[in-house]
Amino acid sequence: KQEVTQIPAALSVPEGENLVLNCSFTDSAIYNLQWFRQDPGKGLTSLLLIQSSQREQTSGRLNASLDKSSGRSTLYIAASQPGDSATYLCAVRQGNSGYALNFGKGTSLLVTP
């Protein structure tokens, strides 16, 4: 069974810092990996989707990388802002489970002014 782990569970940084969130998965046979943002009590907002054939995706200040062979993905946030405070979730899609997503438990990020 695919296990998805996110480290750290919580992170607090001052505004302006660059930061990296980590996601690891145990089964490298994935179709894609998706990063989400979740604000308290809200739904999940898709940030980036990386297909298994891709190494990275970028959107604005966000950059996500994928190393399928080592079972790792990182989400890089440049020049963090207080508005980036949220929980960040990664999820991997397997082919042998009906293409369902397996989620990590998230990293709770607080960016202080």
Partner 1 sequence: DADVTQTPRNRITKTGKRIMLECSQTKGHDRMYWYRQDPGLGLRLIYYSFDVKDINKGEISDGYSVSRQAQAKFSLSLESAIPNQTALYFCATSVGLAGVAGELFFGEGSRLTVL
25 φ, ψ (degrees, to nearest 5): -140, 150
- Of 68-97, binders to partner 1 (CB under 8 A) are 89, 91, 93, 95
Q: Which stretch binds partner 1 (CB under 8 A): 16-24, 66-74, 78-86, 98-106?
A: 98-106
The token pair at 45 is: 């907002």
When asked if residue 105 is in the footprint of partner 1 (CB under 8 A), the reply is yes
When asked if residue 44 is in the footprint of partner 1 (CB under 8 A), the reply is yes
3-state secondary structure of 15: coil
Cα–Cα distance for residue pair 65/68, rounded to 1 Å:
10
- Closest separation between CB of residue 21 and partner 1, Å? 15
- Of 14-43, binders to partner 1 (CB under 8 A) are 31-32, 34, 36, 41-43
The token pair at 104 is: 């990590």
- List CB contacts of 68: < 8 A, sequence separation 6 or more: 28, 30, 52
**Is the bond preceding residue 113 a cis peptide, omega within 30 degrees?**
no
When asked if residue 99 is in the footprint of partner 1 (CB under 8 A), the reply is yes
Question: For binding to partner 1 (CB under 8 A), which residues are involved?
Answer: 31-32, 34, 36, 41-46, 49, 51, 89, 91, 93, 95, 98-101, 103-106
